[in-house]
Each structure stands twice: as C-alpha cells, then as structure tokens.
Amino acid sequence: MLLKAQKLYLLPDQREAIKEVKALLQSRFPVEELMVFGSAARGEAAEESDLDLLVLTSRPMSHSEKHAISDLIFEVNLSRGTNISILVVDRKTWETGLWSLLPIHQEIIRDGVTI
C-alpha cells in the first residue's frame, strides 16, 4: 500500500503502523479520510514525538465505536512500539460544527497530510 503522503518524514515503524491503521479502520468503520497533523506533518517531529492522526468519518461515531477505534490504535501502538494519537470526527461536524471554529481545525487544514 502506497501512502499518498510521501512528504511525511516518518520512521519505518511509524510508516508501517500508519499503513496498518489505515487498512484496519477502512475495513471496519465508515472512514472517509485520514490525515496526519501536528509535528510529523510539519516535519518537526522528534524521535519521541507522537503521531497525530485525524480520522474523518461519514457519520457520527457512537461511544462504543470510538472506544473500538481507540482499542485498535492501542493494539497497533503496542505491537509496533509507536505512539499514534487519534482524533475521530464526522465530516459534517468537522466542516460546519464546533470543530470548524477551533484553532486546531485551521492548523490541520494548513499542515495536515492526507494518507
């Protein structure tokens, strides 16, 4: 699987973890888009930095679905020795809801890299 985000400077374990997360999420949940943001997207990540990932879905996720996504990320982090942090938001809320008003929204729009 080729990552669209070739400009991301990720460690090999991080790159493989992102590929695994993408495949798992897209096979189990209504994921529309995944974006790396934060220091990794800006090219400022240190070796110990976490890897921030925005998960945009086609519909709001229930509490149990969000919990299942967190569990999945935890398992990938544990097996690969990575530190992926996620933000799960449905697209409508992301584009027109409260999230659209927050500073992190503009940061992700500016710096985020779709994978």
Domains of the chain: 17-114 (3.30.460.10)
Residues 6+ apart with CB under 8 A from 107: 37, 38
Q: What's the pLDDT at 27? A: 98
pLDDT band at 69 (very low <50, low <70, confident <90, very high): very high
**At residue 52, what is the residue type?**
D
Residue 2 has pLDDT above 60, yes or no: no
Q: 10-59, pLDDT tens digit by residue?
A: 888 999 999 999 999 999 999 999 999 998 888 888 777 899 999 999 99
pTM above 0.85, yes or no: yes
24: left (phi over 0), alpha (psi -120 to 50) or beta: alpha
